[in-house]
Structure 1
């Protein structure tokens, strides 16, 4: 039996008998996960164990299931009530989702034997028809108490989408009930869902759904449950830790909030070389000054499982809330991220690491559930492996992507994307087609879609996740004045609170300093271009060859300067593969339709990315080529080229 399971046996055994008596304190165990994002396979991870940097793999759904089954076996042995909950955002995240569009999520999650799941924002990434199919096919309820689906043609009749569910317990045995009368004298726990009140601003496809404010919707549902006679209430939410804490303070009557959305791995993980985060199972006093609510969350990407033990008074007040998150580790450890056999720990080294892990409270060696592993490998993994292709490099430590630099910390990924585009444009094969040498690369932050996690980097991680929009690369002549104007335009537009920051410019072959002088505005105090190995001041009158995606080159996403400079005449070239060979498509000018959509007018044959034999994702190809040939061990660049000084 796993050490994390053994740790709770005595406490649960002592509480097990009392839990069946409605006039005695009721003890409940809750196992929980959130933001699993289709990470059905384990994730590569770097840990510091026994003062050494080592590489292993964490989590994955077969390992989650194995650990959850262990907790359930423990609870059964103690005749103790237990629930297994998901805090939302099961969708998106890996090629599994892109290939299977939610069907695999429904299949695998049903095999996990969850008791309930909150509705996350990424569950709206397709459309409500496919979301309804997912909700209708899973074998557990999907919860959202502050959601009104009555006007939506696809979700209005989704019987498995509920505001809450009731579970009646007879010791370890539980069953769904509709009313307290159905439960008799057995203790009842209500599990309610709370979703983002601003979902319509965050999710792309919410149809005709309406979202009630989180605090009001939660309090209304608690009041309804209390009027029914339900005393023990759990909320599974997809709001983020800060809003969960607000909910705990402002809503009376919730005993436990199991959260998601902010990917918060609560607890102190410095013993593993990770961060110390906010404490697990913090307890907050409700607005009435009497009730208390405990808040938990379990990280991201199916790497960890939370386990919290609650003790509640007969009238439903929280007496005790204790537990923690456990990272679920493979038992193979390597000295190098490339994980070759010669890097694998063995003998006494492996035994010492295993002993170190055994002594830690927040990590465990867990075998994968063999049946679920075999099911994934047989039915889904072959297609994924074909789609992801070859390994092009390795990422030793996580590379973060943020759109707008904060406190001097910007994206680590976007500068690499810019560097890849500048490198690619200047390779002999590309120069043979363009006849030009690029000086500068510009990247819009919104075109970079994800951070990079430690581990293997395959072609599909780039084409399906990092740069999934299949944009053609463009090269165009701009004066120094136009480059500076574009930077000023996009930076100033990105600064206001709540602004769309996808237009913020990252660079290669260029560096700049922007100083904010007033509210959400400022000037470029330095802008330099690298030529002949030296940094030189950007010449306003000089002409520079600039590479970027065709999307940004057409002035989309607020890059209006690019549109303005190409309305009459341009020397721009768009680059795409035609029947496997790189080809240049000269652009004559740009215009806009009455509806404001940019139109690209080509000199000869237009670039049609949907045409047979045409492949436009040269932005992704540039990054693949760059990593493979220049940065097979991919780390952050020493400098981003950006200094953003805010007031």
Structure 2
């Protein structure tokens, strides 16, 4: 027996675990998340690059090039995609899963997570993509027993081997997918329970380094690490588009935390879970090296996301492969859907009522009436952050609508008490960048009501007048009103938690791009004007 143990010791292993004299083990991880169909260059603020200058960053050819450059430097790296490869540019609208799998398969992924947007065309739109992918797709908290088209197309975890060590990778998808997308009868279970179950199974198999590939969002990842992370070493995240970075971000974006963030699990204060995420849209790519001891315990780390600006070259072969598809996409983007007599600028929406906000809010009200009854008075709300581009005077194209609303969010109707509407509008004018004149990040654009603010008053007491439509009837805090809004906002996004708290009788009535396109077609030429529905006094 001693002879056998000695032979194992020479090889550096006993019972699948590394021995003390082996030295530190280095695990290299290349990761990205929330690709969102960025096959061409993007910019910090818009889905496509409008000008051929240094504002153009990212894109698949640059991502591909940098991944392969890092693999040449660190050939044992693990390459991970944390989900949401679908949706976000006209490429996906036109070409769907097929072009996505073609180019994703050119990157030597070790694993993909599933994002909520992967279900935007239902299980039937996802199944052929999963069948075509070469790398395994991981989802430990997803039950497809009632959607057999997806059975056998994903697994909860994999075990990789790098330099003789076993590396476990567990996949998670946000349980909010049921509300955010179109998963049919797919059920999404508690990510914490799934993490514990799969991590314990891997640990029993002698896997002492475990990575969680999560499309649950940064805040959820921290909770998972805290409550279920005793066997988890690293969480590679996505979904929340969080930039974790050390120092000031070169893109000028808000940094949500250092790279990596460290979380201590509640049940094991001697253990630390490292959390990383790399923004979104191929603007950044994660580059992490973690050193472990013989027990699989973290010792030290190196790395930071890489900013994929024009200092990083694009792969020209990949650009040539993309060119025929790009031609089709650009032709489709330029199809006219209507016209406008005036320019509607999205930047105006930080100051108060804006014409493009009126367009979007009015379109949602009209759609809600068409979907239900024209006798119902609807109010609509859309958050400033959901309005991503201007519409210029002249022809309005399919592509310009997509630029305006790139995420093609669902829109729902619901009932809600007036007090929650008042709370939402009060939140609309807090945390301003400036108050005289007003300039703020959360300002809601509205239809079906009129509001006047005095922003010199204390927060949550700034509404001086709030009336229903043109009736002069004041909003009643205890009365039930009918509302339509993008699902992201209705579910409490951007801090508007009062909508999520108060809404009931919810119903999905379509997607924002289609709603706005139909409104523009039926009302062209547009001549949207300001009408005093939002007044801000300083």
Q: Does the pair score TM above 0.5? A: yes
- 1: CA distance, partners of 2:406 / 2:250: 36
Matched, 1:226 2:203: yes
- 1: CA distance, partners of 2:467 / 2:96: 45
Contact 1:420 1:623 in 2 (8 A): no
Distance 1:305 1:61, change over 3 A: same
State which of 80, 83, 89 in structure 2 corresponds to 1:85: 80
Deviation of 1:422 (Å): 11
Distance 1:243 1:496, change over 3 A: farther
Query: Corresponding residue for 2:298?
Result: 318
- 2: CA distance, partners of 1:46 / 1:492: 30
Q: Does the residue aligned with 1:462 lie in a helix, a strand or coil?
A: helix
Deviation of 1:241 (Å): 0.6
Deviation of 1:321 (Å): 2.5
- 1: CA distance, partners of 2:212 / 2:382: 33
TM-score of the superposition, structure 1-length normalised?
0.57
Question: For 1:456-493, what per-residue CA distance to the aligned partner results, in whole angstroms no more than 9, with x for missing partners?
Answer: 998334333536999xxxxxxxxxxxxxxx99699359
Deviation of 1:202 (Å): 2.7
Deviation of 1:384 (Å): 0.9
Unaligned runs of 5+ residues in structure 1 are: 1-16, 48-53, 171-185, 331-364, 402-409, 425-441, 471-485, 498-503, 530-536, 542-554, 559-595, 599-608, 610-614, 631-636
Contact 1:420 1:622 in 2 (8 A): no
Q: Does the residue aligned with 2:27 lie in a helix, a strand or coil?
A: strand
Query: Corresponding residue for 1:339?
Result: none
Q: How many residues align?
A: 431
Question: For 1:220-256, what per-residue CA distance to the aligned partner results, in whole angstroms no more than 9, with x for missing partners?
Answer: 1100001111111111101111111111222211111
Contact 1:89 1:123 in 2 (8 A): yes
Query: Corresponding residue for 2:257?
Result: 278
- 1: CA distance, partners of 2:518 / 2:57: 32
Deviation of 1:523 (Å): 11
State which of 147, 151, 155 in structure 1 corresponds to 2:146: 151
Contact 1:423 1:626 in 2 (8 A): no
Query: Corresponding residue for 1:214?
Result: 191
- 2: CA distance, partners of 1:301 / 1:275: 15
- 1: CA distance, partners of 2:390 / 2:284: 16
Distance 1:230 1:42, change over 3 A: same
Query: Corresponding residue for 2:116?
Result: 121
Query: Corresponding residue for 2:216?
Result: 239
- 2: CA distance, partners of 1:455 / 1:116: 39
**Larger gyration radius, structure 1 or structure 2:** 1
The within-5 A match list for 1:208-607 is 208-250=185-227, 251-267=229-245, 268-270=247-249, 273-287=252-266, 288-330=268-310, 365-378=311-324, 380-389=325-334, 415-418=354-357, 444-445=380-381, 450-452=386-388, 459-464=397-402, 466=404, 491-492=421-422, 506=446, 511-513=451-453, 525-526=464-465, 540=472, 557=484
- 1: CA distance, partners of 2:89 / 2:260: 30
Deviation of 1:641 (Å): 2.6
- 1: CA distance, partners of 2:257 / 2:184: 36
The within-5 A match list for 1:72-221 is 72-76=71-75, 81-158=76-153, 161-170=154-163, 186-203=164-181, 205-221=182-198
Unaligned runs of 5+ residues in structure 2 are: 1-10, 47-52, 364-377, 409-415, 428-443, 474-481, 486-506
- 1: CA distance, partners of 2:352 / 2:335: 21
TM-score of the superposition, structure 2-length normalised?
0.68
Query: Corresponding residue for 1:175?
Result: none
Question: For 1:340-363, what per-residue CA distance to the aligned partner results, in whole angstroms no more than 9, with x for missing partners?
Answer: xxxxxxxxxxxxxxxxxxxxxxxx
Q: Does the residue aligned with 2:151 lie in a helix, a strand or coil?
A: coil
Query: Corresponding residue for 2:38?
Result: 39
Deviation of 1:197 (Å): 2.9
Contact 1:244 1:259 in 2 (8 A): yes
Question: For 1:352-411, what per-residue CA distance to the aligned partner results, in whole angstroms no more than 9, with x for missing partners?
Answer: xxxxxxxxxxxxx11111121111112x11111112228999xxxx9689xxxxxxxx87
The within-5 A match list for 1:617-636 is 617-619=518-520
Contact 1:449 1:466 in 2 (8 A): no
- 1: CA distance, partners of 2:406 / 2:252: 32
Question: For 1:484-526, what per-residue CA distance to the aligned partner results, in whole angstroms no more than 9, with x for missing partners?
Answer: xx996993596899xxxxxx752599652399xxxx9x99632
State which of 19, 22, 35 in structure 1 corresponds to 2:18: 22
Distance 1:219 1:528, change over 3 A: closer
More displaced stretch, 268-277 vs 122-131: 268-277
Query: Corresponding residue for 2:67?
Result: 68
Contact 1:263 1:299 in 2 (8 A): yes
Deviation of 1:624 (Å): 9.4
Contact 1:26 1:312 in 2 (8 A): yes
Question: For 1:201-225, what per-residue CA distance to the aligned partner results, in whole angstroms no more than 9, with x for missing partners?
Answer: 332x222322221111101110000
